[in-house]
Structure 1
Amino acid sequence: MAFTPILLLFVLINLYIGGHGAYLLSHYAVPISPVVYWILFAILVFSYLIGRSRWLRGPVGRLLKVIGSYYFAVMEFLVLLLPLADLTAWICSLAGVPTNVFLPWIGWSTALVLLILLLRGSWNAWMPIVRTYELNIEKKAGALKELRVLVASDIHLGNIVGKKHLNKLVRQVNELKPDLILLPGDVLDDSIEPFLRNRMAEVVQHLKAPLGTFAVLGNHEYYGGHIEEYVKQMAAIGIRVLRDELVLVNDAFYVAGRKDKTAESAGGRLPSAELLAAADLSRPVLMLNHQPYQFDQSAAAGADVLLCGHTHRGQFAPNHLITRRLFELDWGYMRKDRMHVVVSSGFGTWGPPIRLASRSEIVQLRVRFT
């Protein structure tokens, strides 16, 4: 039932956008019937859902899913731009400016701004940066005095984020020569099919760190429904997916990996305190938890560093204003009692490969033990 008002709002928004398109076509006397126009527009609006349906497989379904992904960004930007265009048109009408004078200016200006937003957003999505955080942990880690950790969350490997972007990740990570690599969830976009079909594991296996690579599940791995196959594929290339598991690395520090919050309604997951119950808390503990919730519980359980993703920092503006209110920390760094918290905006993207007020990133941690 909760889905109904969301669907109704989605339809109303697109009737508003589609109405502007129909008006422009009629103004310029484009020879297309209204019925054909609205059918084609409806296919565009619902192309993402159509492409994900079980009845449409193969290249056509994948193409529709990609088109629909981009349309999500176009739709949100137009929701912001079209009211401004309507207001400008209304003012021009009140001032007595002929429609055939102001309409082209407003139409082309709106299209130009939309294009600039899409191009800039695409640059932010496909050109990842490295963000570095310096962390001090007041514990001994065996003979280690310093640990360099690279974190890549929310890669979203699928039909849009593919081997080209993945190769970029491998190259950038390996150039930084990390001691440890951590992947805090949503390595897959949802279905494992593109990951298998494009043999992406052959690229992922080139991520190299002497102390290993560890991952946890994100909500999208649960959505895809191929968790066991995914864990098997990752294990075959030497990457351990931690599902409420604790690992002592090099007899120096722990890596703890929680199941995603989605598991609370799909079989359950351990609370942080139970997960760390067997740990020697005189050693440092690095915890992975895909969704940035329950900071206080992780800190109380004894985690020294908590690494999360999930939010994408809203991915494109103004969504970051929403994620900022939804999460205690939606991006960046904070100190929770004695625990360091880092939430990454992610390396890949969900839906359109567009980012505004957000960048695709790799997180580098320089951890010093004292």
Structure 2
Amino acid sequence: MKGRMVFGISFFLLVYLLINAYIGWQGWLFAVELAPSLPAALYWIVFGIIAFAYLIGRIPLPNPLKPAARMLKVIGSYYFAVMEYALLLLLVADLAGWLLRLTGAKPDHYPLIAGWIVIGIIALILVWGSRNAWSPVIRSYPVQVDKQVKGMTRLRIVVASDIHLGNIVGKRHLRRLVSRVNALQPDLILLPGDVIDDSIEPFVRNRLSDILQLLKAKFGVYAVLGNHEYYGGHVEEYVSRMKEIGIPVLRDEVVEAVDGSVIVAGRKDHTAESMEPGGRLSVAELLEGIDRGKPIILMDHQPRQFGLAADAGVDLLLCGHTHRGQFAPNHLVTKRLFELDWGYMRKAAMHVAVSSGFGSWGPPIRIASRSEILQIDMTFQA
């Protein structure tokens, strides 16, 4: 396992280095056209710092240098979006230049012309993507469950997955979440994982729990772990801090919510299978012995094993994780990786809703996806 991990990391770093060598070289051709006297060493040092800013920012540093590390992580996060679109656009620019050369129509100073076009397109993408990331929408999914709940015909469930509270998604966006969610007057609020963006340090330093505890629902707020809570390595502290503000984090646990009328179950994230000695329970094991005459809601961060959840009697499965690729064309990949990477589907008698998330990982940029909150109005038999 360790050897495979080392190989995987090494392969990733090699590919990352090759991609950035290509982008850096194209940038150098543009830069020398723009400023012929620019020292090559200065250019490559600055470019290297930007390209590897996120990785550098994750290196543990003394307290006086931590603000610089946080800034590098923010710069590096935005660079991930710039890198992807720069790669795609520069490949097109190179192809166009080659075709123009064949026809003898390639203009002088082509690197300068193509460079400005690429920069302009990327700037527009960043502006539009930022608007999509910071302007959440409410998506409504009415679902019918063929079970009776005494004294109740409807339950309003509001869902916010993948908030990714950290150095980028902070107080302003979290206040936006609290305002939008509470305005929906939910009966139940569910947070299906990745509430924090790996490191718990910004969550604690910025006292984000003080804002998160303002979420109000008649029958409470529940959460589960996502992969990023595991990546940060502070699961126990995170669970403890959530408990302090009245939000239980369900780790392979089942609660009888809504005055005992509805089952809310939460699985450990799929990451537990590789990072916890005991792994996690199967859905069937988790739901063993429960009253299946009650509506069953399951939170499982990653959208996997829909068939097993349906077979276990789940009525509503809530997931996140995918961000719908966050920015196109990544959604073409997530669409192939998951049975449902975003939206709603019916799996036998089970309803499935996969959210693209409220926050963002890396750059707060969304193209072909939106920051969203789910409003699920569950109705029961009269």
TM-score, normalised to structure 2's length?
A: 0.94
Q: In 1, are the aligned partners of 2:33 and 2:111 still within 8 Å (CA)? A: no
What is the aligned partner in structure 1 of residue 337 from structure 2?
A: 326
Establish whether residue 346 from structure 1 lines up as the match of residue 357 from structure 2. Answer: yes
Q: Secondary structure at the match of 1:100?
A: coil
Q: Secondary structure at the match of 2:271?
A: helix
Q: In 1, are the aligned partners of 2:250 and 2:266 still within 8 Å (CA)? A: yes
What is the aligned partner in structure 1 of residue 371 from structure 2?
A: 360
- Number of residue-to-residue matches in the alignment: 370
What is the aligned partner in structure 2 of residue 284 from structure 1?
A: 295
What is the aligned partner in structure 2 of residue 259 from structure 1?
A: 268
Aligned pair partner of 1:87 in 91, 95, 104: 95
- Report the CA distance between 1:40 and its aligned residue: 1.5
What is the aligned partner in structure 2 of residue 297 from structure 1?
A: 308
Structure 2 gaps, min length 5: 1-6
Q: Percent identity?
A: 57
What is the aligned partner in structure 2 of residue 133 from structure 1?
A: 141
Establish whether residue 145 from structure 1 lines up as the match of residue 156 from structure 2. Answer: no
Q: In 2, are the aligned partners of 1:144 and 1:252 still within 8 Å (CA)? A: no
Establish whether residue 172 from structure 1 lines up as the match of residue 183 from structure 2. Answer: no
Establish whether residue 272 from structure 1 lines up as the match of residue 278 from structure 2. Answer: no
The one-letter amino acid of 2:320's match is G
Q: Secondary structure at the match of 1:159?
A: coil
Shifted more, 28-37 versus 194-203: the winner is 28-37
Structure 1 gaps, min length 5: none
**RMSD after superposition:** 1.3
Aligned pair partner of 2:82 in 67, 70, 74: 74
Q: In 2, are the aligned partners of 1:243 and 1:257 still within 8 Å (CA)? A: yes
Aligned pair partner of 1:202 in 207, 210, 223: 210
Establish whether residue 243 from structure 1 lines up as the match of residue 254 from structure 2. Answer: no
Q: In 2, are the aligned partners of 1:142 and 1:251 still within 8 Å (CA)? A: no
Establish whether residue 109 from structure 1 lines up as the match of residue 120 from structure 2. Answer: no
Establish whether residue 100 from structure 1 lines up as the match of residue 111 from structure 2. Answer: no
Q: CA separation in 1, counterparts of 2:331 and 2:170?
A: 25
Q: In 2, are the aligned partners of 1:66 and 1:160 still within 8 Å (CA)? A: yes
Q: Secondary structure at the match of 2:249?
A: strand
The one-letter amino acid of 1:13's match is I
Q: CA separation in 2, counterparts of 1:269 and 1:243?
A: 9
Q: CA separation in 2, counterparts of 1:102 and 1:323?
A: 36
Aligned pair partner of 1:15 in 7, 17, 21: 21
Shifted more, 261-270 versus 346-355: the winner is 261-270
TM-score, normalised to structure 1's length?
A: 0.97
Q: CA separation in 2, counterparts of 1:51 and 1:7?
A: 16
Aligned pair partner of 1:41 in 29, 42, 47: 47
Q: In 2, are the aligned partners of 1:149 and 1:181 still within 8 Å (CA)? A: yes
Q: CA separation in 2, counterparts of 1:167 and 1:208?
A: 13
Q: CA separation in 2, counterparts of 1:11 and 1:104?
A: 24
Inter-CA distance 101–22: structure 2 relative to 1 (3 Å threshold)? closer
